[in-house]
Copies of this chain bind each other. A is one copy, B any other.
């Protein structure tokens, strides 16, 4: 059984574990705070690689940021990551092959291989977290685009500059459908700068009508975006992943989407591959997947 040393490199945390070619975690994942410079990140990777290099076949890294089509490097910089991150030569860190993929793409691949979109010819995965990530799978391939950066969920919800997006532009889906966006929607609707995402989530549990209205608006914005993606991709399913996905009702969204779209009905599902789906997906990609 082939094995990967897997990493998930995010803006605040780095996880690492060992994963086999069936997608099984062979060690309890360990967690590091993401260092503030690239040397610190390299040291963490090198430490784990030194420890496991002789027993693994490949180093598999799920990372924030777009990954090139050769799966060797991050292209360009992303707001969440340390300066110069894209200059890291990951292959020089190990004598075993090093394989990278964008974290959302990797998580979408895990859902496709062992999770909620298993068997789907065409699927769209959205990670609803601090931001919104996207991973699109078409006919057994991740949609990568000309440079590897496809699947960015930065399409606009308004054409006329209302909310600034983390990408530097205005009114992207991320700015309305993320966890951060739920707070912004609450601030706007309640005219209260101090309201938090947790206030909204707690409020809907205790039957607070104002918080329910905020939450419904946020779910409606999520739904509006899925309608567009469903008309563009005609997918078998849309999988909702990430820390915020647990709060939404996929059936409510599915009914609204299917009542609106011009393509044939799609299925809205909550992700099932778990919290480490990014590492599982990139390990499966790096190891050649379940189908060998």
Contact = CB atoms under 8 A, between A and B. Distances in A.
Contact of A231 (B120, B152, B227, B263): B152
Interface stretch (A21-29, A86-94, A143-151, A197-205): A143-151
Interface in A119-169: 120-122, 134, 136, 138-139, 141, 143-159, 167, 169
A158 B158 contact: yes
Interface string A60-85: 00000010000000011000000000
A43 interface: no
Interface residues of A, number: 51
Nearest to A154: B231
A152 B232 contact: yes
Contacts of A167: 262
A213 interface: no
Interface stretch (A44-52, A233-241, A273-281): A233-241
A2 to B, nearest CB: 27
A261 interface: yes
B154 A228 contact: yes
21 contacts: A76-B264, A122-B150, A136-B232, A139-B141, A145-B235, A145-B263, A146-B234, A146-B236, A149-B263, A151-B232, A152-B231, A152-B263, A153-B232, A155-B229, A156-B227, A158-B158, A159-B176, A159-B221, A169-B262, A229-B232, A232-B232
